[in-house]
């Protein structure tokens, strides 16, 4: 659910703060969280919401990616971000998760025994198999399109977080008006492999370095290790790229994250590796903590910037409690059909609520989403034909 007017995540200190840039098109950013198989929720939510407005406007489909100056996404969010950037219909991304999910995550870690079976019996076989399946699925959707192609032929900037294993430091695959040529030639498939290389769940990503002259490869780990919610990455690049005084709007979308939290006694704090499922329970903890922390840091920073004369507005959606009956289906590696179907149902429900907010003239966040949707260019239902692009 979108925030109500009294709770709005708008960074505006007052309506007058934004009027200076009201006559200018805002610099728009889309930020997409990571979350493994929960990426199907992200894709379905956006597909349903844009389908509503396509019907209202009499279009076959709407080109959501083209509505943003910058798209940032981490891990599974990088996959959805890349599909939007190239103009693929989102139902193709939903189909990727539905049809290839069990190949990408062939063994679900359900508990301690499952984790031990993976570690001592299956070894690296599941992640090797999953790595191959994911690359093939991404190639079907993204082809050979590179980062520079999206920027030059679609006019969309990208910022995709990952971790460079050679330095154990953050790395952002990006192309913006202020970035250099370092990442221009990387194929989007390789970028997505790098950003979604979650330790324990998937292989690290060994990808070709397009600037290397001797066939060297770079190795990367999942960007969710430091920026699972990449809203601050998007905000920083927007501040560097937007025109002076141009209002900035950041739309941040989660992945139906589970409501976490534990009441622990003093005796329970001595948790062993087995109690952490050999590390498998660390990733969900990190994701939840980052989602909350980064969202709030971005909101506070946006308030400060707006008061200083640089209008920045953030919107986190949907903003509602996850239904209790969703809890069994929110594991990062849960590729069961019933889990995917339940995520899709929840995405549809949340998109319906968001559309209702868009129809409420008193809802500031709803107006922000509606303005975006009404600005989107139309596109064929089959997506953008790259052979027709300049």
- Show which residues are catalytic: 75, 222
**Is-cis flag, bond preceding 318, omega within 30?**
yes
Closest among 285, 298, 76, 282 to 199, alpha carbons compared = 282
As a whole number of angstroms, the distance between CA 252 and CA 144 comes to 28
Query: Tokens for 148?
Result: 């520079």
| Strand residues in the chain grouped as ranges (E) | 27-32, 61-62, 70-73, 157-164, 169-175, 205-208, 217-222, 248-253, 312-317, 378-379
Alpha-carbon gap, residue 2 to 315, rounded angstroms: 8
Q: Alpha carbon of 52 to those of 4, 29, 89, 368: distances in Å? A: 21, 21, 14, 16
C-beta of residue 137 within 8 angstroms of C-beta of residue 76: no
**Cα 224 to Cα 234: distance, rounded to the nearest angstrom:** 15
| Residue 51 CB neighbour total at 10 angstroms | 18
Residues 6+ apart with CB under 8 A from 84: 30, 46, 64, 65, 68, 71, 90
Alpha carbons 163 and 190: distance in angstroms, whole number: 13
Q: How many CA atoms lie within 13 A of 117 on its CB side?
A: 9
Q: Which two tokens stand for residue 322?
A: 């996850």
Instruction: Determine the angle formed by the axes of helices 76-86 and 125-142, rounding to 10 degrees.
Output: 20
Candidates 307, 314, 316; CA nearest to 14 is 307
Given a contact cutoff of 8 angstroms between Cβ atoms, the answer to whether 137 and 104 are in contact is: yes
């Amino acid at each position: 659910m979108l925030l109500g007017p009294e709770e709005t995540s708008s960074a505006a200190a007052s309506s007058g703060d934004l009027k200076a840039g009201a006559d200018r098109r805002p610099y728009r950013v889309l930020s997409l969280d990571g979350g493994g198989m929960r990426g199907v929720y992200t894709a379905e939510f956006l597909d349903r919401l844009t389908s509503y407005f396509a019907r209202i406007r009499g279009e076959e489909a709407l080109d959501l990616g083209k509505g943003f100056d910058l798209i940032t996404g981490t891990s599974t969010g990088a996959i959805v971000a890349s599909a939007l950037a190239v103009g693929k219909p989102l139902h193709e991304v939903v189909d990727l998760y539905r049809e290839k999910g069990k190949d990408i995550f062939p063994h679900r870690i359900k508990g301690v025994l499952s984790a031990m079976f993976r570690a001592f019996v299956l070894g690296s076989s599941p992640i090797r198999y999953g790595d191959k399946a994911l690359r093939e699925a991404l190639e079907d959707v993204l082809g050979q399109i590179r980062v520079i192609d999206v920027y030059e032929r679609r006019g969309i900037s990208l910022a995709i977080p990952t971790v460079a294993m050679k330095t154990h430091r953050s790395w952002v695959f990006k192309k913006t008006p202020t970035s250099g040529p370092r990442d221009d030639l990387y194929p989007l498939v390789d970028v997505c492999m790098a950003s979604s290389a979650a330790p324990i769940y998937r292989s690290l990503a060994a990808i070709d370095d397009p600037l290397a002259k001797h066939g060297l490869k770079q190795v990367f780990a999942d960007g969710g290790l430091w920026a699972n919610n990449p809203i601050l990455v998007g905000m920083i690049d927007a501040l560097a790229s937007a025109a002076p005084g141009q209002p900035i709007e950041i739309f941040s979308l989660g992945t139906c994250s589970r409501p976490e939290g534990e009441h622990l006694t003093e005796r329970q704090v001595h948790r062993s590796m087995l109690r952490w499922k050999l590390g498998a329970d660390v990733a969900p903890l990190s994701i939840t903590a980052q989602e909350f922390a980064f969202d709030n840091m971005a909101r506070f920073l946006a308030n400060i910037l707006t008061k200083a004369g640089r209008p920045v507005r953030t919107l986190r959606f949907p903003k509602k409690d996850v239904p209790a009956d969703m809890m069994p289906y929110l594991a990062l590696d849960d590729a069961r059909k019933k889990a995917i179907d339940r995520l899709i149902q929840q995405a549809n429900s949340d998109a319906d609520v968001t559309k209702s907010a868009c129809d409420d003239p008193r809802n500031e966040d709803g107006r922000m989403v509606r303005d975006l949707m009404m600005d989107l260019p139309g596109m064929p239902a089959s997506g953008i034909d790259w052979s027709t692009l300049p």
